[in-house]
Structure 1
Amino acid sequence: MIQPAIRLITMVIFLGYMMIWVMMPTNTFWLHWLPRIHSVTDSTFLGQQGGNIIVYTAPILLIAALACIHLHLESKHSHHSINQSSTFFKKNLMGLWGRPVIVRGLLGIVTWRELLCLFMFVGLLVWSTSAYIHAMFATITTQSASRIKEKVWEVKLDSMALMLGLVGNICLAFLFFPVTRGSPLLRQIGLTSESSIKYHIWVGNITMVFFTAHGLCYIVYWAKTHQISQMLKWEKIGISNVAGEVGLLTGLGIWLTSVPCIRRKNFELFFYTHHLYILFVVFFILHVGFSYCWITLPGYFLFLIDRMLRLLQSQQKVRLVSARVLPCQAVELNFSKTPGLNYNPMSSIFVNVPKISKLQWHPFTITSSSNLEPEKLSVVIKSEGNWSKRLYEELSLPSINHLQVSVEGPYGPATTHFHKYEKLVMFSGGSGITPFISIIRELVHIANDPNTTNKTPQVILVSAFKKSLDLGILDLLLPVSGPNHDISRLRLKIHAYITQESRPSRPMTENQQVYRTVWFKPSALDSPISATLGRNTWLWQGMIIVWFSVISLSIVAVVTQVYIYPIDHNTNRIFSYTIRSILNMLIICMSVAITIIIAFLWNKKKNSTEMKQINVTEEQSPVTSPGMSSWYYNADREIESLPDKSFAGCIKVHGEERPDFKSKQT
């Protein structure tokens, strides 16, 4: 009963929040609703910003906190059987919203849920633009323009510039939601930051179009009305033009380096320039004042919390247990993880190797299953770029016995329902097989789980490789070690196509090439991969959101009441908009940092016992390569020593041939 109640409350708050955005361009909001809100909240504690906090910021933070509670309760019920969850999925109409409706075109793969959100957002922009224009132009007449000694078109240009800025603020309010990797809001509606990054791109482009037009219209207006000196003004009260211009130039730098041709040719320029978003946000706040920024910043607050959590996690050095080095220029890294860290198949993780580059972080699909391998996490990396090639060369050295690695994540889909189908047909090319490795390992666990009555689907994997050497990736379908599982229960068939080499029909064990397994020595500074906030990560994240809100607002209220108000009396003559904005930004950042660090250290201390137990277990593992060789490449290895006797019979190799998708034989 608790989860349905949370969903109902969340929906009511969200509808009320969207109603505010719909009513915002109307005279009813500006002339009636907003003055009444300010009359209630305007006090010596928060001033007029109190109304904006209640109307714009509080609903999003409250929804995020409720989403964290809902996700925490869901994780507690994740032990229910697959059969029950599959039945629930079939009966739940919300599952239909996750089905693709567009699979080709500029939008990519779009589900019904994403399409609905897109239509709502575009509709909001269209409505806001038309409503603002109608309300502003209705009061512009020849007589009103003559009173200020301007032409009608000049007054309309001034209003148009203001309108473009107001609509651009709507886009900015939603800009940071898609790039918050650990966002409870995205997870609640079944989205991930990886699948939502395209919406960040679209919203970012629309934002910069509106803000660029906003700035150009004002420049033209000032030039035509002989007020070009306005470009150099930094007002103590109201809008600061210089700050807006600096923010716009910063945004243009980010926008220009995000053009596909520049991003693809020089990704590092795009990546590092994107960190200028900090300056963009700071100067935007200085441009309009912190009191108004509560309208557009709730999404940035959630992003800031997530970024701080990621920063703390990335500072830890994780325990790299072993690596499988394949002749096909691919490696599998096996990390130690805490048993309490669970993730779904097709999740991803960001990896940093300081010995190669201290700044570069690269995302990779997790190939392990948290159920099949409760204490291991694996990723497969194919040597295709400079970073991955250097990693392969480093792991190929015979003298290597330790490698320092940091990670962020894992991040992935909220749920996976691939087990509800009768047959799974998966297509991959080269290293694109990695997401399916995690699915196969998960299905192996389900098929061998005695508590599961659900029948696993028949799995057909069609993979294309350029050369026969690349077939070595198939070695990674099963983990390097662990309990034996009967893979025959999975009903697995693999069709491997070699597209650029002819391969005669020979026994699969004829090739004498082998892969090498490297075992790394443990280090006292390394620790298993764990959730940043422990087992109850969603509950702790909800607590952080609540405590951050309470602490930051309390400090702002105390500073306003004790220090600012007795001197300024809300006149803004002594404490200008700029000073107040800088002071509030410092309070917000300090509140986030203090809250997150306390939660992180508390959970780190709580999990220290569990990590020590894992380290003791790992110290008993071999630290030198045991000479393991591939069951596929080593002809001398007997069939009894294979990971599973029936696994070799699952694979059929097709030489110098491409998959025939029209054929019914597959």
Structure 2
Amino acid sequence: MLGLGLCVSRGTATVLNVCCALVLLPLCKKLNQLLYRGLSKVCPGLFFFWLEKAKCFHMTVAITLVIFGVIHSVSHFVNLWNFSRSYDEQWPEINLARYKGESPFLLLISVAGVTGVSMLLIVLGMGLTSTRIVRRKVYNAFWYTHQLYVPFMILLMIHPLSGVLKEEILDEKSLSQDRNVLTNISIPNVPKFAAIQSMTWLWMALPLTCFLLDMLWRIFSRNLARVKILNVSHMPGRTISLSLSCPHAEFSCSAGQYVLVQCSELSIMEWHPFTVVEIPTISQRKFVLWIKVKGDWTEGLEKMLKERGPNNLNVLIDGPFSSPMQGIIRNDIAICIAAGVGITPFVSVLRDILMNPKNRLPGRIHLIWIVRHERELTWIASLATEAILQLRNSNRPDRLHLEFYVTNSQENEPKRNVNKEQKTITHMVVLNEKGYLTHVINDDERRTLLTPNNKRNGCAIEDNMKNDFDFEIAKKYPLIGCRLRRGRPHWDRVFGYWAHLYPEHHLNLYCCGPKKLVKLLRSKCKYSSRFTKTKLTFIHEAFS
């Protein structure tokens, strides 16, 4: 009756059951935290590999879910057409249609049809809003469509219970009929049909139970984890530094971990991840977050802090949660590359080196930080200077190797005063009516010369940009200034230097930055591992 459509729909249904079960595993944050505490000491490499690949694993399973969801839906639309066209009058109980030629759209208005179409729309909505273009521009659409996973799971359990597909029941009478065929005794047999039993609950039982327990644990714990904003400071590059109180006495955090932050004045559903920059200690029960103002939620937080003040905001904390960046402090040699606010996972590592300069691990750290403006280096300038001096006093100066790159083109130009005599003025030579030569000054140059507020070189710079361009970090932090370079890193030379410095070593490269940088460094690690004796494992962290 149904032909190939039945085979396709049944096969893709099994794939969807597997995908719906696996897609929940990376989202069990508390479960991953327990795994970290139990397995990080036994097999830390395997666990951090899972953390680093968890996002990629979730995306791969989700893409598979979308593709096979569409194929499954199309096959069922074909089945509806075949139910209507191939109505079986001999066995009416196996038919979904009430009569031959019934409209397939009428057959779609059923429990199976309504739940199937609803799940298809939810999956397509999640998939479209998960694309990088939509997620970066309209993050709220991505966030709220993903909250539809709860009705999706409910519909997934209801969908196969409708009993559209039937199977024949083999009872004792039918089995005796098969035996009597051999003895040429014919006994009339009337086959019986029943709905195919759903196996979805078997696939979903364990992962859904783990996910629900993890979600309930997080809900009850984070609702009690209210914190106070102790201090707010605005750093260069439109970045906010929040100093928060610990939510409870048992709150502890490791270098590289992150927390989820909610502000009820902005949204009661949105939780945004931020890496803990300064972890709490026994003497100081507070932790610090750096928040780059980029997006509607962070812009709203900045506005609320200015209008209401930090003491009038309700902030909840969920976490901390494990991150692949925790492996830095366990490496003999760690290579860390950051761009912009991506420096946050490595700040806590610098603090750990400052507090424990004689620890064996991490043995040596190569940190490269790429920023747009030189003033942004002040985020860690004081901390880095103290760490360098502390390592020198501890006779471990080779433990930390820092490189800073400023990419802004206007800052890259050398600052020099150009006087009026050195200024180049554009002239145009023309003939007047009497045939004499006349020099005419260009309008732009005339306007420049007649404007007293402009500098002699004719450049008009806004005050806020002027502060960034005129700032020289070497004057205040000489140890940072001597490690500053203009432009972008020459990656072939950088990777060649590491390959020459650490031959036949297996190194971990930790990266936190934009997508283009991640893609470039990943390819460089593969190339270096293939054509040199130094093997590089690429590990990166990204929340967006």
TM band (smaller chain): 0.5 to 0.7
* In 2, Cα distance between equivalents of 1:206 and 1:232: 27
1:341 to 248, 251, 259: 251
Shift of residue 284 of structure 1? 1.3
CA 381–164 in structure 1, closer or farther in 2 if over 3 Å, else same:
same
Structure 1 residue aligned with 2:63? 205
Superposed, 1:159-558 pairs within 5 Å as 159-184=7-32, 187=36, 188=39, 190-191=47-48, 195-226=53-84, 227=97, 228=104, 229-234=106-111, 240-289=112-161, 292-316=200-224, 317-337=226-246, 338=248, 340-370=250-280, 375-392=285-302, 394-395=304-305, 403-413=313-323, 416-419=326-329, 421-447=331-357, 454=360, 456-475=362-381, 477=383, 486-488=390-392, 489=394, 491=397, 492-500=400-408, 501-502=411-412
* In 2, Cα distance between equivalents of 1:208 and 1:266: 21
CA 465–165 in structure 1, closer or farther in 2 if over 3 Å, else same:
same
CA 476–315 in structure 1, closer or farther in 2 if over 3 Å, else same:
farther
CA 357–241 in structure 1, closer or farther in 2 if over 3 Å, else same:
closer
Q: Which has the higher contact order (CA 8 A, sep 6+)?
A: 1
Shift of residue 281 of structure 1? 0.9
Range 357-366 or range 280-289, more displaced: 357-366
CA 502–279 in structure 1, closer or farther in 2 if over 3 Å, else same:
same
Q: Residue 659 in 1 paired to residue 489 in 2?
A: yes
Shift of residue 653 of structure 1? 4.6
2:6 to 158, 183, 186: 158
8 Å contact from structure 1 (residues 330, 473) kept in 2: no
| Residue type at the aligned position of 1:271 | W
Matched residue of 1:309: which SS? helix
Shift of residue 634 of structure 1? 10
CA 420–326 in structure 1, closer or farther in 2 if over 3 Å, else same:
closer
Matched residue of 1:340: which SS? coil
Shift of residue 321 of structure 1? 2.1
8 Å contact from structure 1 (residues 495, 652) kept in 2: no
| Residue type at the aligned position of 2:242 | L
* In 1, Cα distance between equivalents of 2:478 and 2:307: 30
* In 2, Cα distance between equivalents of 1:435 and 1:395: 24
8 Å contact from structure 2 (residues 331, 361) kept in 1: no
8 Å contact from structure 2 (residues 52, 323) kept in 1: no
CA 424–323 in structure 1, closer or farther in 2 if over 3 Å, else same:
same
8 Å contact from structure 1 (residues 344, 413) kept in 2: no
8 Å contact from structure 2 (residues 370, 406) kept in 1: yes
8 Å contact from structure 1 (residues 461, 495) kept in 2: yes
| Residue type at the aligned position of 1:181 | K
CA 195–351 in structure 1, closer or farther in 2 if over 3 Å, else same:
farther
How many residue pairs were aligned?
A: 368
Superposed, 1:591-606 pairs within 5 Å as none
CA 158–344 in structure 1, closer or farther in 2 if over 3 Å, else same:
same
Shift of residue 400 of structure 1? 5.5
* In 1, Cα distance between equivalents of 2:382 and 2:261: 19
* In 2, Cα distance between equivalents of 1:390 and 1:219: 45
CA 478–408 in structure 1, closer or farther in 2 if over 3 Å, else same:
farther
Deviations for 1:296-340, whole angstroms, at most 9, x for unmatched residues?
232122111222222223324212222332243222212222563
8 Å contact from structure 2 (residues 329, 349) kept in 1: no
8 Å contact from structure 1 (residues 178, 186) kept in 2: no
The Cα RMSD (Å) is: 3.8
| Residue type at the aligned position of 1:166 | T
Shift of residue 233 of structure 1? 3.7
CA 411–282 in structure 1, closer or farther in 2 if over 3 Å, else same:
same
8 Å contact from structure 2 (residues 243, 287) kept in 1: yes
* In 1, Cα distance between equivalents of 2:302 and 2:116: 47
Structure 2 residue aligned with 1:581? none
Structure 2 residue aligned with 1:114? none
Structure 1 residue aligned with 2:420? none
* In 2, Cα distance between equivalents of 1:436 and 1:503: 30
CA 360–164 in structure 1, closer or farther in 2 if over 3 Å, else same:
closer
CA 473–373 in structure 1, closer or farther in 2 if over 3 Å, else same:
farther
* Contiguous gaps of at least 5 residues in structure 2: 40-45, 85-96, 98-103, 162-197, 416-463, 465-472, 499-544
| Residue type at the aligned position of 1:208 | V
Matched residue of 1:409: which SS? strand
8 Å contact from structure 1 (residues 369, 442) kept in 2: no
Shift of residue 190 of structure 1? 1.0
| Residue type at the aligned position of 2:274 | F
* In 2, Cα distance between equivalents of 1:256 and 1:467: 35
* In 1, Cα distance between equivalents of 2:135 and 2:490: 35
| Residue type at the aligned position of 1:160 | V
Structure 2 residue aligned with 1:588? none
Name whichever structure is richer in helix by fraction: 1
CA 292–457 in structure 1, closer or farther in 2 if over 3 Å, else same:
closer
Superposed, 1:104-123 pairs within 5 Å as none
| Residue type at the aligned position of 2:75 | C
Q: Normalising by the residue count of structure 1, what TM-score does the alignment of the two structures yield?
A: 0.49
Matched residue of 1:464: which SS? strand
Deviations for 1:262-292, whole angstroms, at most 9, x for unmatched residues?
3333221121011111111111111224874
CA 648–407 in structure 1, closer or farther in 2 if over 3 Å, else same:
farther
Larger Rg: 1 or 2? 2
Matched residue of 1:363: which SS? strand
Q: What is the percentage of aligned positions where both structures have the same residue?
A: 21
CA 157–309 in structure 1, closer or farther in 2 if over 3 Å, else same:
same
CA 458–300 in structure 1, closer or farther in 2 if over 3 Å, else same:
same
Name whichever structure is richer in strand by fraction: 2
Structure 2 residue aligned with 1:555? none
8 Å contact from structure 2 (residues 52, 324) kept in 1: no
CA 205–499 in structure 1, closer or farther in 2 if over 3 Å, else same:
closer
* In 2, Cα distance between equivalents of 1:255 and 1:223: 28
Q: Normalising by the residue count of structure 2, what TM-score does the alignment of the two structures yield?
A: 0.58
Matched residue of 1:364: which SS? strand
